[in-house]
Amino acid sequence: MLTAYDYPTAKLLDEAGIPALLVGDSLGMAVLGHESTLAVTLENIIYHLRAVVRGARRALIIGDMPFLTYQADPAEAMRNAGRLLAEGGAGAVKLEGGRWLVPTIARLVQAGIPVMGHLGLTPQSVHQLGGYKVQGKTPEAAEQLLADARALEEAGVFAIVLEYVPAELARAITAAVSVPTIGIGAGPYCDGQVQVITDLLGMEPEQPRRHARVYAPIGQLIREAASQYLHDVQTGAFPSARESFGLAKSEVAVR
- Catalogue the active-site residues: 163
Least gap, CB of 24 to ligand KIV (angstroms): 2
Nearest position to ligand KIV, beta carbon = 24
Contact 135, 149 (CB under 8 A): no
29 binds ligand KIV (CB under 6 A): no
Least gap, CB of 226 to ligand KIV (angstroms): 26
Which residues, numbered 87-146, are part of the site for ligand KIV (CB under 6 A)? Answer: 118
Q: Judged by CB under 6 A, which stretch of 18-26, 50-58, 106-114, 145-153 contacts ligand KIV?
A: 18-26
Of the candidates 136, 166, 144, the residue with the CA atom closest to the CA atom of residue 99: 144
14 binds ligand KIV (CB under 6 A): no
Residue from 21, 22, 60, 84 in contact with ligand KIV (CB under 6 A) = 22
Site size toward ligand KIV (CB under 6 A) is 12
Q: Which is nearer to ligand KIV, 74 or 192 (CB)?
A: 192
- Say how far apart CA 184 and CA 52 lie, in whole Å: 21
Q: Which is nearer to ligand KIV, 172 or 194 (CB)?
A: 194
Q: Which is nearer to ligand KIV, 38 or 109 (CB)?
A: 38
Residue from 2, 3, 55, 157 in contact with ligand KIV (CB under 6 A) = 3
Residue from 161, 165, 169, 200 in contact with ligand KIV (CB under 6 A) = 161
Residue from 14, 25, 153, 199 in contact with ligand KIV (CB under 6 A) = 25
What Å distances lie between residue 101 and 27, 65, 67, 93, 188, CA to CA? 23, 13, 14, 14, 27
What residues make contact with ligand KIV under the rule CB under 6 A? Answer: 3, 22, 24-26, 64, 118, 161, 163, 184, 194, 196
